[in-house]
Amino acid sequence: MPSYRAPVRDTLFVLNDVIGYGNHDNLPGFADASPDIIEAILTEGAKLAENVMQPLNRVGDQQGCTRHADGSVTTPKGFDDAYRQYCEGGWMGLAVPAEFGGQGLPYTVHSAVGEYLVSANMALMMYPGLTQGAIAAILAHGTDAQKRKWLPKMVEGAWTGTMNLTEPHCGTDLGLLTSKAVPNGDGSYKISGQKIFISAGEHDLSENIIHLVLARIEGAPAGVKGISLFIVPKVAVDDDGALGESNAVSCGAIEEKMGIHGNATCVMNYDEATGYLLGEENGGLKAMFTMMNEARLGVGLQGHAMGEAAYQGAVDYARERLQGRSLSGPKAPEKKADPIIVHPDIRRNLMSMRAFNEGGRALILLTALKSDIAHLSEDAAERQAAEDHLALMTPVIKGVLTDKGFEHAVMAQQVFGGHGYVEEHGMSQFVRDARIAMIYEGANGIQALDLVGRKLPANGGRAAQAFFRDVAEFCEAHRADEQMAPYTKALKKGLNDLQAASLWLMQNAVQKPDNAGAASYDYMHLFGLVALGLMWGRMIKAAQDRLAGDADGDASFLEAKIVTGRYFMERIMPETVAHLARISTGADTMMALPAEAF
Amino acid sequence: MPSYRAPVRDTLFVLNDVIGYGNHDNLPGFADASPDIIEAILTEGAKLAENVMQPLNRVGDQQGCTRHADGSVTTPKGFDDAYRQYCEGGWMGLAVPAEFGGQGLPYTVHSAVGEYLVSANMALMMYPGLTQGAIAAILAHGTDAQKRKWLPKMVEGAWTGTMNLTEPHCGTDLGLLTSKAVPNGDGSYKISGQKIFISAGEHDLSENIIHLVLARIEGAPAGVKGISLFIVPKVAVDDDGALGESNAVSCGAIEEKMGIHGNATCVMNYDEATGYLLGEENGGLKAMFTMMNEARLGVGLQGHAMGEAAYQGAVDYARERLQGRSLSGPKAPEKKADPIIVHPDIRRNLMSMRAFNEGGRALILLTALKSDIAHLSEDAAERQAAEDHLALMTPVIKGVLTDKGFEHAVMAQQVFGGHGYVEEHGMSQFVRDARIAMIYEGANGIQALDLVGRKLPANGGRAAQAFFRDVAEFCEAHRADEQMAPYTKALKKGLNDLQAASLWLMQNAVQKPDNAGAASYDYMHLFGLVALGLMWGRMIKAAQDRLAGDADGDASFLEAKIVTGRYFMERIMPETVAHLARISTGADTMMALPAEAF
């Protein structure tokens, strides 16, 4: 079983030395979370992850969840206690306003700790994760009465939340959904229909479950314009907050799935269950997107967190497993063989994971900071720029970091050889768990379309242009710096490819939308490489600066940072060329075969 | 559950129109398997795969194998009957000489049918697969008496075989193995030790299991030079072939693993079991490599077969699942949504799989033909050229086709969205089953080292030079052909990158072997792209020629072939650039961090 060590020092480096977290103490909540306090919070979160969550990770995978004949669901042994500790520690409401029982701290801090907890136990953390998504939706779209009624208990963790979108015949295309809502006349609705793939749909961790359910009010327009969002509690709540009768909602089955066994993925049946409109009538999709956008960042974080956890497992094994001798002569002549970390191809795997993980962490934290700025800043221009960044990077973080998180879980498993394929070492679980992140909250192909079709052209391309300018300015600013020149050169080359791809899209995709679809996946990954490249440029610069001054005991950490950045620039950035080449071929060949020819 | 249709027409196209199978009827066995007869054999094999093997694929995954308290192992329900049908059909000995009960047909035919059977049920086919490996080793290294004693029953399928290499502390580095052999004085040995990850180590399909076991004879030299190979039957066999006492070999446990649940992966304990030397004393590694090389081609075939099976599942789903509308306007306006095959990003997945699968099939069949020529030809020069091809392509086929087979199983799963993550549709199983092929019979990193460190420099680079010449000549021969020029241009570009990478290795890896290790994985994939590119060049040319003449009802098949080839050349070949860029960076950055810095 792999052990897990939360990378607190790296998080602090990113926050303090790279993204300038400390420059924002004018924002609400930031003053309460000064760098010292953040370090204390991260350290506490690390302990919870390492000591409470991680030991239950394999237990959860092995036991899974059990549905009983009465429709109730039992979670794996120990999950209830860990969940209780999570709630008692105040982690559920870390970034929720104090008026609803939260701690009102920055979302950036929430994301930093979230990585550790998800690395330690992804399946368990989905219960609070879904709850936080539901809290966000009620905060954004609920009436004052709804917020007062539902939020405090959810923030406390006594009630959890879910998202109910998918139906058997519709996932991506929500316009097809058929669940229906009939007005009761008293402001409430009768909700009926079947939802599938509902994470945390039924379980024994909380006394109530607040389902957010998409349904169609009788007589509503067809398609996505006729969808509304409803709050449907598992157990009725009266005006004093007391629990009443069970609602007509039940778990019909638990899905048998590839991974995240510790999370109950449910078929949910609504049979004239009482529900309450959240947000506007027929405005359900918009309201759901509030949850979806935050959820997409959360899923990107999951991909990243799985890549990090798997990487740590591979490092430990590569340092211990003795097999063969270094090509350049024995490195541990006193042992019967060298540890496999001496072999270049093992290093290739470790360095590739490491370079992505550290870049991904920086991109996630920067984007979380932009989310805080977008929500909290009083400066309209700063807010708009932050919103632009957030909108643009959400599909990139979701699509690229989950693809890579899975790829790296597979790489880490490969380092173990046959021992990676048996379940005993836990590497198979990382692969199986990480796989879902590429699929849910919009499969990665949908993220790519969102980037190319929506985010890129939005507001005349303002967000993308701002990003390109950031990269270009960074390269220009450090071009003459001899220490930085090799990195800015590689980054500039990546930017050139990205801009060429963007230009190709402008010239070819408007009249022929299939060209956009055909290019989208490669474009998303090309974009991700440049976005991670910029983070690497900034991290290398920050490390060089600190090494030139007072490294404060971090010298070997900072030197390793620079080596890892160099690996990214030398070995990973060149992939932009292949992406551009593919993008430029367009859709013709891809779409040429008639469907029956496959 | 995905259905499976054996691609008989495509196999025949490769055999008859591309690799010139019919030009070799001077070789023993080839005259008995004329194109007409081959078609009949393939059709029979297809029926066995589709109707007998495939329906048991999910059963095997769900039930797995059970070890009982007495050490006996039960396979999933129905496996015994399917295995019986396989044996009764004569498939076990298809390519084994008639004197031992086989049919003496070409290995090429065996490989063609093998793809179908493995696509249909990889886990089940491992039982005969391991047996065929053991048969090959006994054929190559056994005495006449050993061949007469062991082979006929194995060819019949009454006895199966295994390979016992791995021990808990050694897999790749066999020099570390500690299983020991003590002479009994009568020519036999007492074998003791523990072996792990033994596929088909214990089961209920056959009345005896013939284990081939690597062990160290008392007093033998240390390292790989002191390893010998032994025949260790589960049940003793007397000189008349009658079964006697049980041998001191037992299954201590079945591994819990990610996939191939239908195959019993065993911990095998040898406790002074009686064994018989196979081949020379201390020549065990060489003898084992006879099995390994064939097994590596077989594993490459598994990767390919999983990619094909997963592709077919994805195609079926993409044609049926209705979701969203085509970017270029509704394609099925009478339905509530278009089938997702209209979406470019779905096509990207399907076309990528298809282009690799068809290229992989051609490369496998060509290499199988070379294997036949290497074993059967009376022309020394032809034999040497075929042996060179075989040695060179074995790590490429194993490493590249298993990496891609897994990647494509993941792609196919992605086409299903959330429905791919639940076990019900069978797509998760393809991913979990395909994963092992990247690991066993030498993890793919080892294949890459074998290619770069052994196969490339062997005989002054003769094999690689011959391959480069083949590619260059093909490009030159068709350069002036307007229909072929776009393809030869792309292929030539790939060849240039491969030759540049080879030159870089010559100049940089001799003095600094870590540069070879650092380059090896990318080099293997770069090599694979060019090898598949040559197959595609030949397939496109063959399709064009047939379309210009008598397409014989195959016009739409041939047109689809050309489109798929174009996709390969446009979209996949450009990856060579990124591989070359990575190779050229060398080992310095990759190896720079001290082990403790990870």
Question: Closest to B521 (Cβ–Cβ): which among A257, A345, A556?
Answer: A345
Cα dihedral A59, A61, A62, A68 sign: positive
- What is the reported pLDDT for A9? 97
Q: Are residues A483 and A438 in the same domain?
A: no
For B19, B237, B593, the CA distances from A6, given in Å and listed in that order, are 55, 58, 20
Instruction: Return d(Cα A14, Cα A21) in angstroms, integer.
Output: 9
Question: Closest to B323 (Cβ–Cβ): which among A172, A570, A575?
Answer: A172
Residue A319 touches partner B, C-beta closer than 8 Å = yes
Q: Do A421 and B414 touch (CB under 8 A)?
A: no
Q: Tell me the shortest Cα–Cα distance from A534 to chain B, in angstroms.
A: 19
Q: Are residues B325 and B420 in the same domain?
A: yes
pLDDT, tens digit, 9 for 90 and up, residues B562-586: 999 999 999 999 999 999 999 999 9
Q: Tell me the shortest Cα–Cα distance from B61 to chain A, in angstroms.
A: 12
Contacts of B423 in chain A (CB under 8 A): 256-258
Of the residues B444, B470, B498, the one at which a domain ends: B444
Contacts of B444 in chain A (CB under 8 A): 414
The 10 Å Cβ neighbour count of residue A469 is 10
pLDDT, tens digit, 9 for 90 and up, residues B297-331: 999 999 999 999 999 999 999 999 999 999 999 99
For residue B526, the surrounding DSSP H or E stretch is helix B513-548
What residues of chain A score a pLDDT lower than 70? 1
Question: Closest to A414 (Cβ–Cβ): which among B197, B439, B590?
Answer: B439
- What is the reported pLDDT for A551? 86
Q: Are residues A429 and A577 in the same domain?
A: no
- What is the reported pLDDT for B114? 98
| B151: in domain | no
Residue B346 touches partner A, C-beta closer than 8 Å = yes
Beta bridge partner(s), residue B210: B161, B233
Q: Are residues B532 and B479 in the same domain?
A: yes
| B147: in domain | no
Residue showing tokens 């008692």? A88
For A44, A125, A231, A243, A486, the CA distances from A142, given in Å and listed in that order, are 32, 25, 10, 20, 51
For A509, B83, B237, the CA distances from B155, given in Å and listed in that order, are 60, 13, 16
Q: Which of A174, A161, A168 has the alpha carbon at shortest distance from A215?
A: A174
Q: Are residues A396 and A301 in the same domain?
A: yes
- What is the reported pLDDT for B30? 93
Contacts of A445 in chain B (CB under 8 A): 343, 345-346, 349, 414
Start-to-end Cα distance in chain B: 43
| B571: in domain | yes
CATH of the domain at A419: 1.20.140.10
The 10 Å Cβ neighbour count of residue B210 is 24
Q: Where are the beta strands (DSSP E) in A178-305?
A: 180-183, 188-199, 208-217, 228-233, 235-237, 243-246, 249-254, 265-278
Instruction: Give the best residue of A258, A563, A580 to mutate against chain B (max B CB count within 10 A).
Output: A258
Of the residues B414, B444, B474, the one at which a domain ends: B444
Instruction: Give the best residue of B263, B421, B573 to mutate against chain A (max A CB count within 10 A).
Output: B421
Residue B570 touches partner A, C-beta closer than 8 Å = yes
What residues of chain B score a pLDDT lower than 50? none
Contacts of B404 in chain A (CB under 8 A): none
Residue A445 touches partner B, C-beta closer than 8 Å = yes
A88, A320, A441, A575: the active-site residue: A441
Look up the ipTM and state it. 0.97
Residues contacting residue B481 through CB under 8 Å, at least 6 positions apart: B488
Please identify among residues 484-543 of chain A the ones whose CB lies closer than 8 Å to any CB of chain B. 512-514, 516-518, 520-521
Domain around B481:
451-590
| B12: in domain | no
Q: Are residues A426 and A477 in the same domain?
A: no
* CB A439, CB B420: distance < 8 Å: yes
| Helix (H/G/I), strand (E/B), else coil: A3 | coil
Question: Closest to B563 (Cβ–Cβ): which among A259, A350, A593?
Answer: A593
For A307, B460, B595, the CA distances from A53, given in Å and listed in that order, are 17, 56, 28
For B35, B98, B167, B376, the CA distances from B31, given in Å and listed in that order, are 9, 15, 44, 13
Q: Are residues B309 and B404 in the same domain?
A: yes
The residue of chain B with its CA nearest to that of A424 is: B256
| A68: in domain | no
For A258, A380, B62, B74, the CA distances from B429, given in Å and listed in that order, are 8, 51, 10, 21
- What is the reported pLDDT for A171? 87
- What is the reported pLDDT for B1? 62
* CB B98, CB B104: distance < 8 Å: yes
Instruction: Return d(Cα B134, Cα B428) in angstroms, integer.
Output: 31
For residue B211, the surrounding DSSP H or E stretch is strand B208-217
The residue of chain B with its CA nearest to that of A513 is: B327
| B32: in domain | no
Question: Closest to B337 (Cβ–Cβ): which among A173, A521, A566?
Answer: A173
Q: Which of A194, A166, A196 has the alpha carbon at shortest distance from A441?
A: A166
Instruction: Give the best residue of B422, B569, B590, B596 to mutate against chain A (max A CB count within 10 A).
Output: B590
Residue showing tokens 């284990």? B211
The residue of chain A with its CA nearest to that of B557 is: A597
Please identify among residues 395-414 of chain B the ones whose CB lies closer than 8 Å to any CB of chain A. 406, 410, 413-414
B441, B476, B559, B596: the active-site residue: B441
Please identify among residues 351-370 of chain B the ones whose CB lies closer than 8 Å to any CB of chain A. 351, 354
Q: Are residues B502 and B428 in the same domain?
A: no
| A9: in domain | no
Residues contacting residue B473 through CB under 8 Å, at least 6 positions apart: none
The residue of chain A with its CA nearest to that of B198 is: A418
Contacts of B63 in chain A (CB under 8 A): none
Please identify among residues 240-259 of chain A the ones whose CB lies closer than 8 Å to any CB of chain B. 255-259
Total of domains in chain A = 2
Instruction: Give the best residue of A9, A58, A419, A421 to mutate against chain B (max B CB count within 10 A).
Output: A421
Instruction: Return d(Cα B449, Cα A226) in angstroms, integer.
Output: 59
Contacts of A257 in chain B (CB under 8 A): 421-423, 428
Query: A186 — phi, psi (to 5°)?
Result: -105, 20
DSSP class of A167: B
Question: Closest to B589 (Cβ–Cβ): which among A516, A570, A575?
Answer: A570
| B166: in domain | no
Q: Are residues B368 and B471 in the same domain?
A: no
Instruction: Return d(Cα A484, Cα A475) in angstroms, integer.
Output: 9
Q: Are residues A464 and A586 in the same domain?
A: yes
Q: Which DSSP string do the residues of B235-268 spell out, in sequence order? A: EEE-TTS-EEEEPSEEEEEE--BSS-TTS-EEEE
Q: Which of A199, A200, A195 has the alpha carbon at shortest distance from A249?
A: A195
Q: Angle at Cα B242 formed by Cα B238 and Cα B243, nearest 5°? A: 90
Instruction: Return d(Cα A420, Cα A402) in angstroms, integer.
Output: 20
For A178, A215, A219, A269, the CA distances from A174, given in Å and listed in that order, are 9, 10, 17, 18
Q: Are residues B476 and B405 in the same domain?
A: no
Q: Which of A432, A414, A435 has the alpha carbon at shortest distance from A313?
A: A414
Q: Are residues A431 and A536 in the same domain?
A: no
- What is the reported pLDDT for A422? 97
pLDDT, tens digit, 9 for 90 and up, residues B429-469: 999 999 999 999 999 999 999 999 999 999 999 999 999 99
Residue A585 touches partner B, C-beta closer than 8 Å = yes
Instruction: Return d(Cα A571, Cα A578) in angstroms, integer.
Output: 13
Contacts of A169 in chain B (CB under 8 A): 322
How far, in whole angstroms, is CA B36 from its chain's centroid? 26
- What is the reported pLDDT for A153? 98
How many secondary structure helices (H) and strands (E) does chain B include? 18, 11
Q: Tell me the shortest Cα–Cα distance from B100 to chain A, in angstroms.
A: 34
B570 is catalytic: no
Of the residues B381, B416, B444, the one at which a domain ends: B444
